[in-house]
Structure 1
Amino acid sequence: MFVASAAQVDLPPVETLDPFVRSALAAVLAALVVLLVGRLFVTPAVVRVVRSRNRDNPTIQEATSLYLRVVVLTVAVVAAVVTAGYGDVLTDSALVVAAATLAIGVAGQDVIGNLVSGVFLVADSNFNVDDYIAWNDREGTVEAIGFRTTRVRTIDHREVTVPNTELAANAVVRPFARSRVRKTVRLPFDYGADVPAVRAALVPVVEGTEGVREEPDPTVSIAEFGEAAVWLRVDYWVANPMETDVAAVETTVTDEVKRVCDDEGFPLSPPTYGHLSGDVTFADSG
């Protein structure tokens, strides 16, 4: 039986290899060196500096690591191309430059817009992962901020992918702290309704509803004077929206408010007034 050992295998000198193979090996080696240095030394060092200066901002820490990995990969590809002897293709080829410009201008417009928006969102200290936000009549908890999109989990536990440009171009508010969410019920009453009595009847009922926070206290206030009704608003706070079924609490509060108004004789539907116009003619009965 013939057994070959590693010492018995004769490798051909590098000089005798085909030029294309030598270029390919050099390109792979250059890419590996850049990747190793970037992933093992540069990225960890930069992330440590960012973490030390932004301890309360986990978003920018995660984004820095992600962006650096992409930069390192890009540099590795460029280093491989240059080492292989095709660097002039990147710099001297008008065709390549024109094609890249066209691709960026046409196909990459939205991508670049989302990328730039993502950078601004990451740099904003008031916009972080785990923040509960509201925008364009939608709301939820930020789970991750990526290059092009931001992942948001809604109250009903659905995951929504939002383009970064949508969040950057529109007003994003935090109407409540991370541990609570404010809800409002608007109610129309006749102008003859006893507003203090309505307030005294509704506040204890809302306070006693399961899922409603004791602090801040629920409030009942006048929101608007309409043409045929005075509108009251009931404001209350629900516990952590990611741990509480907010929709169920809203339904319970609405049902309880309706029940109290019926029991106490507070008409929720104001009377409807109409305007008549025209002539009135009386016929002579004689």
Structure 2
Amino acid sequence: MVPTAISQEDIVPVESVPIENNVPNDSVYFADVLVRGQPIFQIGSLAEIDARQRAATVNRRIASLLAQNQPLEQVSVNPDNPRKIATLQVNNRVLMTVTEQDAQDFGLEVDSLAQKWADQLNEAVDKPPLAIDVGQRLYGTVRQLIRNTIGNLPSIIGAIIVVGLTWGAATIVRYVAFTWAQQTEGDSSSEILIGRLSYGLVWVIGSVIALGVLGIDFAALLGALGLTSVAIGFSLKDVLSNYISGVILLAARPFRINDQVVIDVYEGTITQIQLRATTLKTYDGRLVYIPNQEVFQASIINNTASPRRRSSVIVGIDYDADIKEAQQVIYQAVNSIETVEKNPVPEILVQELAASTVNLEVRFWVDSRRTGFLTTTSIVTEAIKKALEQANIEMPTDIYTLVFRNSPNQRLI
């Protein structure tokens, strides 16, 4: 097993050094030089030392250097031409000696072989295996995080206390603001707006204080956010537009909850007003969620902004009928219905002289709610028809007269 942490335990014992061939111990000719458990190259035996013992010594020196916290220099080659050897050194320590026997074993010059091994060692030290590198980085990061956490523990505890106090204060302020809005505004939309804005304002103040306790410069944070404000603005443009439009709608109040409105192609009753979208329930029972940006840009018809709403009915009477009498009959019929408002009084106006009828427009005021509006209009229409029939005032249908000019008399056989 190859250890992942770099310590004195990384020194590879003699028994664990891999060998080239499965031969007796006294006949080992080559052994591997290891860096972090990975074989880099092989060195051979000398007259006075076995290859395995020689590699173990080199591996021990490499492991001891890697276990130190100080940075490692590049492996350098120091040739000794009179003796026909070269030494590999790092941090003023000799790692190994390249001899003439090594050069003969690999068919290279001493200096060339030494430089080749030095390059291989430098590459292995600078680029550790992925698993070892990731493990080292993770270990260092976690250890640094623990140290920072312990060092900043008072600030963290203080920030947590500030967050807790902010939550409590925001809850209390929202309750007080909502209660005050209920007593003064009398509109649920405004109450929701005031409660949410006060709650959010307290959280903004508390967040600034918590960041200060943690030692974060709020001005510097705003500057950093300013660098990315353009990208954030483009990516959250629609979301922010909906929220801003929602605040304006709640403040301007073109409609309230339970108002019956027409927004673009949708008509129904307002059931909920949120900062992002407005919920409308159509008269056939469907729920429509309209983004506040679309609501803000659309033309809004509020049918229940006033408690009363005018309705009208068109009635066609015969040309031979007395218009004044017909108006009097219609007025009495409309005025007898309890759900029709007495003030303003109903109006009966001559609207059009049609082809076969004189069209009268009957105007009257009723409850602005849709149910009362439709029901009363239907009752008025039925009462006008019955009253005109009882007064023997005809309501003819359209009559078309066909005139044939210059047509010769022909006899059909």
TM-score of the superposition, structure 1-length normalised?
Answer: 0.63
Q: Take 2:242 and 2:263, find their aligned partners in 1: how far apart are those partners?
A: 17
Aligned to 1:258: 385
Using the TM superposition, give the Cα deviation of residue 139 of structure 1 relative to its aligned residue in structure 2, in angstroms. Answer: 6.1
Tell whether the 8 Å contact from 2:187 to 2:256 is kept in structure 1 after alignment. Answer: yes
Using the TM superposition, give the Cα deviation of residue 183 of structure 1 relative to its aligned residue in structure 2, in angstroms. Answer: 2.0
Aligned to 2:399: 271
Q: Which residue of the other structure, out of 312, 331, 334, is the alignment partner of 1:184?
A: 312
- Letter of the structure 2 residue corresponding to residue 255 of structure 1: E
Is 1:34 aligned to residue 166 of structure 2? yes
Aligned to 2:53: none
Tell whether the 8 Å contact from 1:188 to 1:232 is kept in structure 2 after alignment. Answer: yes
Q: Which residue of the other structure, out of 217, 224, 228, is the alignment partner of 1:92?
A: 224
CA deviation vs aligned residue, 1:240-266 (integer Å, no higher than 9, x gap): 638x64433332222222333444333
In structure 2, list runs of 5 or more residues that go unmatched.
1-145
Q: Take 1:138 and 1:238, find their aligned partners in 2: how far apart are those partners?
A: 23
Counterpart mapping for 1:86-235 below 5 A: 91-92=223-224, 97=229, 99-105=231-237, 108=238, 111-124=239-252, 127-128=255-256, 144-151=272-279, 162-173=290-301, 178-189=306-317, 193-224=321-352, 230-235=358-363
Give the aligned length.
Answer: 261
CA deviation vs aligned residue, 1:124-157 (integer Å, no higher than 9, x gap): 3775556665555876665653313345567789
SS at match of 1:233: strand
- Letter of the structure 1 residue corresponding to residue 323 of structure 2: V
Residues 78 and 114 of structure 1: is their aligned pair in 2 closer, same or farther, counting only changes over 3 Å?
same
Residues 192 and 165 of structure 1: is their aligned pair in 2 closer, same or farther, counting only changes over 3 Å?
farther
- Letter of the structure 2 residue corresponding to residue 203 of structure 1: Y
Q: Which residue of the other structure, out of 248, 253, 256, is the alignment partner of 2:375?
A: 248
Tell whether the 8 Å contact from 2:177 to 2:198 is kept in structure 1 after alignment. Answer: no
Aligned to 1:280: 406
Q: Percent identity?
A: 21
Residues 235 and 65 of structure 1: is their aligned pair in 2 closer, same or farther, counting only changes over 3 Å?
same
Comparing 129-138 with 209-218, greater Cα deviation is found at 129-138
Residues 42 and 175 of structure 1: is their aligned pair in 2 closer, same or farther, counting only changes over 3 Å?
closer
CA deviation vs aligned residue, 1:60-88 (integer Å, no higher than 9, x gap): 34422223324444565676677486977
Using the TM superposition, give the Cα deviation of residue 35 of structure 1 relative to its aligned residue in structure 2, in angstroms. Answer: 2.8
Using the TM superposition, give the Cα deviation of residue 178 of structure 1 relative to its aligned residue in structure 2, in angstroms. Answer: 4.1
Tell whether the 8 Å contact from 2:188 to 2:256 is kept in structure 1 after alignment. Answer: yes
Residues 26 and 217 of structure 1: is their aligned pair in 2 closer, same or farther, counting only changes over 3 Å?
same
SS at match of 1:122: helix
Using the TM superposition, give the Cα deviation of residue 104 of structure 1 relative to its aligned residue in structure 2, in angstroms. Answer: 1.3
Q: Take 1:158 and 1:124, find their aligned partners in 2: how far apart are those partners?
A: 26
- Letter of the structure 2 residue corresponding to residue 259 of structure 1: K
Query: Greater RCO between the two (CA within 8 Å, min separation 6)?
Result: 1
Aligned to 2:198: 68
Q: Take 1:166 and 1:99, find their aligned partners in 2: how far apart are those partners?
A: 23
Residues 248 and 66 of structure 1: is their aligned pair in 2 closer, same or farther, counting only changes over 3 Å?
same
- Letter of the structure 1 residue corresponding to residue 375 of structure 2: A
- Letter of the structure 2 residue corresponding to residue 194 of structure 1: D
CA deviation vs aligned residue, 1:183-212 (integer Å, no higher than 9, x gap): 222234455553322221112222223432
Using the TM superposition, give the Cα deviation of residue 55 of structure 1 relative to its aligned residue in structure 2, in angstroms. Answer: 4.8
Q: Take 1:176 and 1:189, find their aligned partners in 2: how far apart are those partners?
A: 33
- Letter of the structure 1 residue corresponding to residue 161 of structure 2: L
TM-score of the superposition, structure 2-length normalised?
Answer: 0.47
Q: Take 2:207 and 2:356, find their aligned partners in 1: how far apart are those partners?
A: 71
Using the TM superposition, give the Cα deviation of residue 177 of structure 1 relative to its aligned residue in structure 2, in angstroms. Answer: 6.3
Residues 193 and 181 of structure 1: is their aligned pair in 2 closer, same or farther, counting only changes over 3 Å?
same
Q: Take 2:271 and 2:202, find their aligned partners in 1: how far apart are those partners?
A: 25
Tell whether the 8 Å contact from 1:63 to 1:122 is kept in structure 2 after alignment. Answer: yes
- Letter of the structure 2 residue corresponding to residue 206 of structure 1: V
Comparing 209-218 with 195-204, greater Cα deviation is found at 209-218
Residues 140 and 184 of structure 1: is their aligned pair in 2 closer, same or farther, counting only changes over 3 Å?
farther
Q: Take 2:396 and 2:287, find their aligned partners in 1: how far apart are those partners?
A: 37
Q: Take 2:396 and 2:294, find their aligned partners in 1: how far apart are those partners?
A: 38
- Letter of the structure 2 residue corresponding to residue 64 of structure 1: I
Residues 93 and 170 of structure 1: is their aligned pair in 2 closer, same or farther, counting only changes over 3 Å?
closer
- Letter of the structure 1 residue corresponding to residue 250 of structure 2: V
Q: Take 1:214 and 1:201, find their aligned partners in 2: how far apart are those partners?
A: 16
Aligned to 1:236: 364
Aligned to 1:10: none
Residues 114 and 195 of structure 1: is their aligned pair in 2 closer, same or farther, counting only changes over 3 Å?
farther
Q: Take 1:166 and 1:271, find their aligned partners in 2: how far apart are those partners?
A: 48
